[in-house]
């Protein structure tokens, strides 16, 4: 994860992420900014959530789980290593921790908890706050390599680890709509449900998205990706690669279309439209602005 690239300030869906029934499933870590609503259960390696994040399902983390103050989890929280639960968090089901439990005041666990290691009752510093304060200090004194090392250790990263799934602060994610106020990046081989709303989108290859895409800026759609819905950008360019399929309408400024891509619906381009048989490169998505 690139510290300089502000990786926590955009939606990042890594390769192989899927929505299975009511769960969002990924091989790597999950980082969710504060005041977000995730109307899924979440399954990943380490799960980190900022303050006042709401989960409508359960959390299953193979490694650590860090939930900041005022988090609301409707289901169970099952943790394969250590857990850090901030004050006034609420768990609607059970809390099961295979390692140590660090827990704040006035935490409510409806169906009881169990920890195999030490249990410490205190008010741990919010994980997202700690992460940003520490990394910001290292970057301010010029220790960029040290900051990258710390981020990797906090997220249990190694050279072979998959990229984390990142949902930025203030987002709302469910099987109807993924709504973020930042740009979004989707890797390869993902299967997602819901209309995606972001400032711009860069979608990789061999994905299937059961919903529409809408941005204010550019949208790129990789090879052999299928979008079951409309693709709309207010001002930007839509780039559709070879083998991609759009099962809906396309509305944009400029359109770059591979001749072997397929669009079921109508095309409305207010600017230039080009059709090519060459590989299409990603366009510049530009700076973040308010979502469509």
The pTM (predicted TM-score) of the whole model is 0.82
Taking only the tens place, the pLDDT of each residue in 49-80 is: 989 999 999 999 999 999 999 999 999 999 99
The helix (H) or strand (E) run that includes residue 31 is strand 30-32
Closest CA to 292 of 217, 193, 212: 217
**183, 198 in Cβ contact below 8 A?**
yes
Taking only the tens place, the pLDDT of each residue in 191-206 is: 999 999 999 999 999 9
pLDDT-derived band of residue 291, with 50, 70 and 90 as boundaries?
very low
User: Which residue has better confidence, 37 or 20?
Assistant: 37
Other CB atoms closer than 10 Å to residue 276's CB: what's the count? 12
Taking only the tens place, the pLDDT of each residue in 121-178 is: 866 555 555 565 555 555 666 666 665 665 555 554 555 667 899 999 999 999 899 9
- How high does pLDDT run on average in the chain? 86
**What are the Cα distances from residue 229, in Å, to 73, 175, 212, 232?**
31, 14, 4, 10
User: Helix, strand or coil for residue 214?
Assistant: strand
User: Helix, strand or coil for residue 290?
Assistant: coil
pLDDT-derived band of residue 119, with 50, 70 and 90 as boundaries?
confident
pLDDT-derived band of residue 1, with 50, 70 and 90 as boundaries?
very low
Cβ neighbors of 51 (< 8 A, separation 6 or more) are 34, 35, 68, 69, 70, 71, 86, 126, 128
**What are the Cα distances from residue 118, in Å, to 65, 84, 103, 121, 292?**
15, 12, 11, 10, 47
The helix (H) or strand (E) run that includes residue 274 is strand 273-276
């Amino acid at each position: 994860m690139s510290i300089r690239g502000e990786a926590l300030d955009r939606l990042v869906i890594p390769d192989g992420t899927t929505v299975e029934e009511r769960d969002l499933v990924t091989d790597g870590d999950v980082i969710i900014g504060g005041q977000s609503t995730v109307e899924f259960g979440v399954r990943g390696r380490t799960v980190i959530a900022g303050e006042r994040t709401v989960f409508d399902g359960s959390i299953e983390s193979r490694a650590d789980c860090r939930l900041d103050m005022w988090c609301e989890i409707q289901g169970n929280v099952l943790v394969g290593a250590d857990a850090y639960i901030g004050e006034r968090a609420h768990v609607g089901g059970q809390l099961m921790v295979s390692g140590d439990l660090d827990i704040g005041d006035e935490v409510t666990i409806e169906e009881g908890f169990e920890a195999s290691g030490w249990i410490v009752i205190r008010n741990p510093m919010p994980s997202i706050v700690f992460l940003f304060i520490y990394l910001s200090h290292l970057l301010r004194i010029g220790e960029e390599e040290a900051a990258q090392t710390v981020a990797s250790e906090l997220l249990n990263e190694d050279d072979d680890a998959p990229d984390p799934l990142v949902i930025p602060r203030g987002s709302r994610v469910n099987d109807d709509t993924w709504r973020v106020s930042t740009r979004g990046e989707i890797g390869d081989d993902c299967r997602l449900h819901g209309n995606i709303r972001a400032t711009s989108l860069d979608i990789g290859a061999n994905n299937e998205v059961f919903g529409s895409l809408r941005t204010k800026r550019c949208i790129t759609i990789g090879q052999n990706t299928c979008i079951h819905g409309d693709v709309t950008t207010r001002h930007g360019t839509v780039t559709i690669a070879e083998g991609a399929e759009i099962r809906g309408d396309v509305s944009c400024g400029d359109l770059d279309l591979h001749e072997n891509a397929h669009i079921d619906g109508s095309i409305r381009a207010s600017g230039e439209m080009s059709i090519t048989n060459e590989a299409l490169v990603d366009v510049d998505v530009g700076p973040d602005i308010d979502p469509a």
